[in-house]
A and B are shown apart, each in its own frame.
Chain A
Amino acid sequence: QKEVEQNSGPLSVPEGAIASLNCTYSDRVSQSFFWYRQYSGKSPELIMSIYSNGDKEDGRFTAQLNKASQYVSLLIRDSQPSDSATYLCAVNTGNQFYFGTGTSLTVIP
């Protein structure tokens, strides 16, 4: 069973701060990495994907990948109360996807 590990939190940050979410994975041949946001009572929604080492920025979100360390992170700049949700890290190997348990983020106004 492929392992994807996340700190479950909860993580609380004040509005306007940077939220940092971390994820490690066990399978070195994993090819693609994703962050999903899941609001309470809703299904996961893709917010970021990253495929190569380094940083990828999309608006207030930055994903960082380090394949040598088997580590993926998500930074949320200028955090807003609407960012309060659970963030799921997902790892893709071939056509299979494995998920972490999610990190609960609360942005305090």
Chain B
Amino acid sequence: EAGVAQSPRYKIIEKRQSVAFWCNPISGHATLYWYQQILGQGPKLLIQFQNNGVVDDSQLPKDRFSAERLKGVDSTLKIQPAKLEDSAVYLCASSAPTVSGANVLTFGAGSRLTVL
């Protein structure tokens, strides 16, 4: 099966500019996640969707970050305006139950953002 697709892979912007990242999850995966991974740290959940509804966005900086998953398939994460501390890799992941019933998370390749 095809994996989680993300684009762009790399983006360099200046502070106060805007940027958008796109993600297409594995076909049939109802749950989609956006994680932020700062260099040297573990992934931090920004937002979780179940189909096109938000399950958890408690750690999303809503004054500058927004995300949508309008048709319950692909998703877009936007940052406007960007700050220097937003420099990170933005990982999209999707999950579905396995035959054992447990959920397993699969990541895309990530989008690396550098804010100058």
Contact = CB atoms under 8 A, between A and B. Distances in A.
Interface of A: 4, 6, 31-32, 34, 42-46, 49, 51, 88, 90, 92, 95-102
Interface of B: 31, 33, 35, 40-45, 48, 50, 55-56, 89, 91, 93, 95, 100, 102-110
A95 B103 contact: yes
A50 to B, nearest CB: 10
A32 B42 contact: no
A97 B105 contact: yes
Contacts of B110: 42-43
Given A88-B43, A95-B50, A99-B42, A46 B104 contact: yes
Contacts of A43: 89, 91, 107-110
A107 to B, nearest CB: 20
B100 A92 contact: no
Main secondary structure of the interface of B (DSSP, over half): strand
16 contacts: A32-B102, A34-B104, A42-B109, A44-B107, A46-B104, A49-B102, A95-B31, A95-B48, A95-B55, A96-B48, A97-B93, A99-B35, A99-B44, A101-B42, A102-B41, A102-B42
B105 A90 contact: yes
B102 A31 contact: yes
Contact of B103 (A32, A44, A100): A32
